[in-house]
Amino acid sequence: MAQMWKVVEFMDKGTAVVPCSWLEKAGESWRCYWPGSYDHWRLQKAVLNHLPPGQDWDVYDDVRVLVGCDIGISKVLQLLSQVLEDNKTIKEEVTKLGNDIRALRREMGRQVTPEASPPLIKLPLSSMEDFEQAEALMRENPHEKKKLISTFALIGGHTAELTVRRMLQNGLTNNLACNFNWAGKGHKKPFRETSLSDVLFAALQKQLPGSTQMQYEGTLKKWLKYAPEREGGVERRRRAQEQAPSQQDSDRLDH
């Protein structure tokens, strides 16, 4: 006469074939007794022979019954072998994954990725010499260019226009910007042909995906156009501050 076994699933998603005598109802779920110290062959023998649970066996709660039916010995052997093989495969995969993670952590501890270290280019650029050195470094070292893109992308803004203006303000001084316009008309240099322009547009798209070249160009052209006025305004305010004490002294003498 066939005896009763069940296929059960534990909380860790492991499965097993167990005799019904190893199970007892516990509310909405089941409780399973398990000979945790048994090796493969001893466990298989215990399952086939319906070995009664011992006092030193492990107890697992919240066990779910997947299959329960009257099956013969040959079917139990087949299911048990398959379950053990599946669990062995899962264990091997988990072990391999753990080894991979540990190896990755060791590798990360040995080196810092180029993007994680600060860029060599110091901002804002304030002279043509600084600008040309930065351009040369970006051409010769793609990692520096990537780091600069990441740096500008952190500046941010809720619109493309605001983001571009903020990046430009952080990237170069008004005095340096006076040497450029977009296309290089007149005696000025073409900003559109620079590596810095490529960096700024890449940073804009990284910060605000979907931003267009037209939005970028329009804002940049306007910002470069008014750089001399901004620079002159700064100079005027500086001169006004210098003249203010002299004017105050003159007023005191008049009184």
Question: Which range of residues forms the domain containing residue 14?
Answer: 3-109
Q: Are residues 56 and 151 in the same domain?
A: no
Q: Are residues 171 and 71 in the same domain?
A: no
Enumerate helices (H) and strands (E) in the chain, giving the number of each.
9, 7
Phi, psi (degrees; rounded to nearest 5) at 123: -110, 150
For residue 116, being part of any structural domain is answered with: no
For residue 217, being part of any structural domain is answered with: yes
For the entire predicted model, the pTM comes to: 0.50
For residue 41, being part of any structural domain is answered with: yes
Q: Are residues 18 and 98 in the same domain?
A: yes
For residue 55, being part of any structural domain is answered with: yes
**β-bridge pairing 180-181 and 189-190:** parallel
Per-residue model confidence as pLDDT tens for the chain (255 residues):
445 788 888 887 788 888 888 999 888 889 999 998 888 788 888 888 889 999 999 999 989 888 765 555 556 566 666 666 666 666 677 777 777 676 666 655 544 444 557 889 999 999 999 999 999 999 999 999 999 999 999 887 889 999 999 999 999 999 999 999 999 999 999 999 999 999 999 999 998 988 999 999 999 999 999 999 998 865 666 666 777 665 555 555 555
- Among 77, 109, 141, the domain-final residue is 109
Q: Are residues 138 and 196 in the same domain?
A: yes
